[in-house]
Copies of this chain bind each other. A is one copy, B any other.
Amino acid sequence: MKRKITLKDIARELDVSISTVSKALKNSEEISRDTKEKVQAFAKLYNYRPNNIAISLKNKRTKNIGVIIPDIVHHFFTTVFRGIEKFANARGYNVIVCISDESFDKEVINMEMLANGSIDGFIMALSAGTQLKNDYNHLREVTDQGIPLVLFDRVTDEIACDKVVINDTEAAYMAVEKMIKDGRKRIALVTTEGHFNVSVKRAEGYYKALKDHKLPVDEDLVLTLPNTYDNEGISKAFFEKIDIDGVLCVNEIYAVRSIRHLQDQGKKVPEDVAVIGFTDGILSKLANPSLTSVAQHGERMGEMAAQLLIERIEAENPYEKDPVYRTEVIKASIVERESTNN
């Protein structure tokens, strides 16, 4: 087994000092041609690589980014993560991921674990538990320490930091408006319980579109699903007792399930009922009929978040008193497929 070699090892073998080796490997002008060649050859032969940890300790820079997301099995978070990883990697950063599992406690524990030197900054989307509890002290502690933080998607006004969001309200508005322009009059909304700010914003867009187009708001057409796995019965019952010609769903899972419920009732999509979902993922593409969907451009969101974070990390003066924080808005777009008229 070839153990990892250190500067000290090289110095001992070549009978020079550690600092000479260090300088020689950096091609310093101070060192003679001869010594440099000797050291570099030796280093190459034994495949010397500086120890990241030692460098981190010295520089107080880890080149690691901490990402805390509620869930990785959800397509949206996966794509955002992809964007983060891509951008970060290209800039020489590694990504440490923790899943909060929608739990406040796990979010706190994970943040504390990483905040003690393991990372240079955080990118995160708030867990459901945190939003419910409305407690952001763990975030504040991190920012107070001068650790850069970027929030995306599930953000809060309570914390001053860089943010990346999508124009949820507008996107929902556009989606509903599209259906209205296609002649739909009774449009339902399938959403989740309200502590997710994104759901709230999307609902806002839904209501606003109806009002702007002088359509009545009927609360019977709004289904708020609990955040559990087995809520399929609820949505099935919902669709059985309402009469609609359009649905907006806040994610693609609900949308695909809605299509199924409608088809089971003998209704045709899109002829009888149009369906639009959020999250333009694989489900949307492969559904039958394929799903018209609001693309959230998760990957771009992730890249943007990583960019904001790295800029902040590498800023000349990271500890200025009143930094100007940015909130970038990623514009959602509607991808038209078979579940609506086109």
Question: Which one of B49, B82, B282 lies within 8 Å of A99 (CB-CB)?
Answer: B82
Question: Which one of B54, B82, B146, B253 lies within 8 Å of A282 (CB-CB)?
Answer: B253
Question: Which one of B54, B57, B282 lies within 8 Å of A283 (CB-CB)?
Answer: B282
Contacts of A319 in B (CB 8 A): 1
Q: Are the CB atoms of B112 and A85 closer together than 8 Å?
A: no
Q: Is A183 close to B, CB under 8 A?
A: no
7 contacts between A and B (CB under 8 A): A52-B118, A72-B82, A86-B99, A94-B96, A95-B96, A256-B286, A260-B286
Question: Which one of B50, B73, B82, B118 lies within 8 Å of A53 (CB-CB)?
Answer: B118
- Report the Cα distance A141→B283, complex, angstroms: 41
Contacts of A257 in B (CB 8 A): 286
Q: Are the CB atoms of A94 and B82 closer together than 8 Å?
A: no
Contacts of A287 in B (CB 8 A): 286, 288
Integer count of this chain's copies in the complex: 2
- Report the Cα distance A283→B141, complex, angstroms: 41
Q: Are the CB atoms of A2 and B288 closer together than 8 Å?
A: no
CB distance from A85 to the nearest CB of B (A): 5
- Report the Cα distance A157→B2, complex, angstroms: 22
Q: Are the CB atoms of A49 and B282 closer together than 8 Å?
A: no
Contacts of A116 in B (CB 8 A): 4, 49-52
Q: Is A56 close to B, CB under 8 A?
A: yes
Q: Are the CB atoms of A89 and B95 closer together than 8 Å?
A: no
Do A260 and B283 contact each other (CB < 8 Å), given the known contacts A57-B57, A85-B97, A98-B85?
Answer: no
Q: Is A81 close to B, CB under 8 A?
A: yes
Q: Max chain B CB contacts within 10 Å: which of A1, A50, A52, A62?
A: A52
Q: Is A114 close to B, CB under 8 A?
A: yes
Q: Are the CB atoms of B51 and A117 closer together than 8 Å?
A: yes
Within 8 A of B (CB), among A136-174: 141, 144-146
CB distance from A3 to the nearest CB of B (A): 7
Q: Can you list the 7 inter-chain pairs with the closest CB atoms, starting with the nearest? A: A51-B117, A52-B117, A53-B117, A49-B116, A256-B286, A52-B118, A52-B116
CB distance from A333 to the nearest CB of B (A): 19
Q: Are the CB atoms of A2 and B81 closer together than 8 Å?
A: no
Q: Are the CB atoms of B114 and A94 closer together than 8 Å?
A: yes
Q: Is A113 close to B, CB under 8 A?
A: yes
Contacts of A81 in B (CB 8 A): 72
Question: Which one of B52, B78, B110, B259 lies within 8 Å of A72 (CB-CB)?
Answer: B78
- Report the Cα distance A260→B338, complex, angstroms: 13
Contacts of A117 in B (CB 8 A): 4, 51-54
Contacts of A96 in B (CB 8 A): 64, 94-97
Contacts of A114 in B (CB 8 A): 94
- Report the Cα distance A286→B252, complex, angstroms: 10
- Report the Cα distance A53→B114, complex, angstroms: 10
